Amino acid sequence: MAGRAATSSANWAREFLFRRVSSNPLGATRNCSSVPGASSAPKVPHFSKKGRILTGATIGLAIAGGAYVSTADEATFCGWLFNATKVVNPFFALLDAEFAHKLAVSAAARGWVPREKRPDPAILGLEVWGRKFSNPIGLAAGFDKNAEATEGLLGMGFGFVEVGSVTPVPQEGNPKPRIFRLSQEGAIINRCGFNSEGIVVVAKRLGAQHGKRMLAETSGTSSSPSDDVKPGGKSGPGILGVNLGKNKTSEDAAADYVQGVHNLSQYADYLVINVSSPNTAGLRMLQGRKQLKDLVKKVQAARDEMQWGDEGPPPLLVKIAPDLSRGELEDIAAVALALHLDGLIISNTTVSRPDPVSNNPVATEAGGLSGTPLFPLSTNMLRDMYTLTRGKIPLIGCGGVSSGEDAYKKIRAGATLVQLYTGFAYGGPALIPQIKEELVKCLERDGFKSIHEAIGADHR
């Protein structure tokens, strides 16, 4: 068994090395700009030299991995691969923030990321909306906006991945630069503004992925051995959420969300109405009691009028902002309970600049703040919403999660599931197994035998 695993891993390392050398995306960008009026060769962009360093480090890791697998079983090698990304990840900090983001998505889309082969501990498994999650740790919307890398991201060990926000018509979003790091604070400010390739492109990608899985199931083949198949949904192992947005110039927000439902819901294990991005003018006004009630009714009706199989339609959630007043939270809770909303995501980014971010010169940039400084604000709101909804609606805790202890605090505050994004951007793939391991220790430390037992524990 160990011999077969070693051989498989060695083949992977050789294949990885070949693909990395023969198809290097960084190398392909070295001639993308030139000095006006110059007759010499095009100037190398400032990130190109750093990119070559990153490429060299990655190749070095692949070579080292190929040598290592001869004495390691598959699980041990898998752990080594995740730890090895800690060496590569700091190089991303040398690149422009948005370019680094695109590079990370491209790597995941091409399978140039570690794949989790170790099963999740049973204590982390749970069932929500009739769907089985192997663990409660998910990737928030905004990372894979156009559903380019769902297979690679789910393969890294996330319990679920949320793509989007997806708008009906393609749009560029706000002018660049629009992503700013605050590394010392573990934070990011972004004002991307729903940059999206649009519903048609995303639907084609998700449709192709769905068809690939159906073909594998009917032919009795799979990309992984049958004993590695984890609980999951329409996209295969792992749960896929689709986050819907509206176009910047749209005058009928409800029509945009309805269009998203009609085109994408058949590929989604759950749907999200995003009414809380601070980077689209007027969007947050849809969180008002009357506006939200009217919107949710129309979207629910659009979903329910479609034909569904035995599993029924995908659950519908709403993602809200962390900058709401107590009265606004009460209104949202009332709408959610009255319309039997399937869940809420708490929260999106904040327009506030809490300490110590306020002392950073970058804090003056417009946009939503995410990362460590958002944790207290979003977690307190999560706790309030759990109380207001009386624990009757599943809540996804999002904002500032970068450790298993952070995830555990969200769960105790009332979260059924937890999402991260900025923590993943800084910590890289190695953070995923680390969070799960730490979360197991937290549960066992306090005597919980399952995630379900810990949900809302702070309220008891």
The predicted-structure confidence for 171-214, as pLDDT tens digits, reads as follows 999 999 999 999 999 999 999 999 999 999 999 999 998 888 77
Q: Supply the residues annotated as catalytic.
A: 277
Distance CA 246, CA 275 (A): 9
Percent residues over pLDDT 90 in the chain: 72
User: Hey, how many other C-beta atoms are within 10 angstroms of the C-beta on 43?
Assistant: 14
Q: Where are the domains of the chain?
A: 51-94, 96-219+231-454
Whether the predicted pLDDT of 100 surpasses 90: yes
The predicted-structure confidence for 263-292, as pLDDT tens digits, reads as follows 999 999 999 999 999 989 889 999 999 999
73-77, 88-92, 93-97, range with greatest mean pLDDT: 93-97
Q: What is the pLDDT of residue 53?
A: 57
Percent residues over pLDDT 70 in the chain: 80
pTM of the model: 0.83
Chain-centroid distance, C-alpha 166 = 14
**Beta strands of 372-425 (E only): which ranges?**
395-398, 417-420
Pairing relationship of beta strands 270-274 and 316-320 according to DSSP bridges: parallel
Considering only CA atoms, give the Rg of the chain. Answer: 22
Q: Regarding the domain with residue range 96-219+231-454, which homologous superfamily does it belong to in the CATH classification?
A: Aldolase class I (3.20.20.70)
What does residue 141 show for φ and ψ, rounded to 5 degrees? -60, 155
Which position has the higher pLDDT, 425 or 63?
A: 425
Which position has the higher pLDDT, 337 or 29?
A: 337
CA distance readout (Å), 45 to 29, 49, 180: 8, 8, 19
In the block, which residue shows the tokens 């939200």?
292
176 close to 98: Cβ distance less than 8 angstroms? yes
Whether the predicted pLDDT of 443 surpasses 70: yes
Candidate from 43-57, 111-125, 262-276, 366-380 with smallest mean pLDDT: 43-57
Q: What is the pLDDT of residue 217?
A: 65
Which position has the higher pLDDT, 395 or 37?
A: 395
Q: Write the DSSP string, 136-160.
A: SEEEPTTSSTTSSSHHHHHHTT-SE
